[in-house]
């Protein structure tokens, strides 16, 4: 069996905070994004954790940010129901602590149900648009490094 580090799987490069901010800017220079902010966390072992899901038809694999022993990612998604799984050190995994579904082939996926939640439009209020719903509470401690000041 090949070592997981030998596998050549395309991974989207992480955008820098400047790229994220530039892509989110409106024509008048304000930062505005729309969607439902969803933080997904893997709180088990692993050196490298990524996530892929039905939100983009399984096209991308996004690396998750490590903080302590946990890995997390913020996804801004439209209303809907999404299936996803984690790739932990090269192996497809699911979190038993999160909602699950099986497909007809016996594959197990985690489920993110956002169908009864409305998208919100987020405009920067001085720190960063993620601070509206992240744990820093607007105290400029945002781990995403997206300060607009």
Length of the chain: 149
Cα dihedral 110, 77, 20, 51, rounded to 10, equals 10
Cα dihedral 54, 57, 61, 65, rounded to 10, equals -40
Q: pTM for the whole thing?
A: 0.62
pLDDT at 133 over 60: no
pLDDT at 129 over 50: no
d(CA 41, CA 60): 17
d(CA 5, CA 90): 7
Q: Domains of the chain, with CATH numbers? A: 15-31+124-149 (no CATH), 35-121 (2.60.40.10)
* Per-residue pLDDT reduced to its tens digit, 43-81: 999 999 999 999 999 999 999 999 988 999 999 899 999
Q: Which residues contact 77 (CB under 8 A, 6 or more apart)?
A: 35, 36, 38, 55, 112, 114
d(CA 110, CA 13): 24
pLDDT at 3 over 70: no
Q: Which residue has the higher pLDDT, 42 or 22?
A: 42
Q: The tokens 């505005």 sit on which residue?
A: 32
């Amino acid at each position: 069996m090949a070592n997981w580090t030998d596998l050549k799987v395309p991974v989207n490069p992480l955008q820098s905070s400047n790229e994220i901010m530039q892509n989110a800017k409106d024509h008048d220079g304000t930062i505005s994004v729309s969607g439902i902010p969803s933080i997904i966390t893997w709180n088990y072992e692993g050196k490298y954790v990524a996530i892929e899901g039905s939100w983009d038809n399984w096209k991308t694999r996004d690396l998750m940010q490590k903080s302590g022993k946990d890995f997390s990612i913020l996804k801004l998604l439209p209303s809907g129901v999404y299936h996803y799984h984690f790739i932990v050190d090269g192996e497809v995994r699911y979190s038993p602590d999160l909602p699950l579904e099986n497909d007809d082939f016996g594959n197990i996926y985690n489920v993110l149900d956002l169908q009864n939640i409305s998208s919100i439009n987020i405009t920067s209020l001085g720190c960063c648009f993620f601070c509206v719903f992240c744990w820093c509470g607007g105290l400029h401690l945002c781990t995403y490094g997206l300060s607009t000041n």
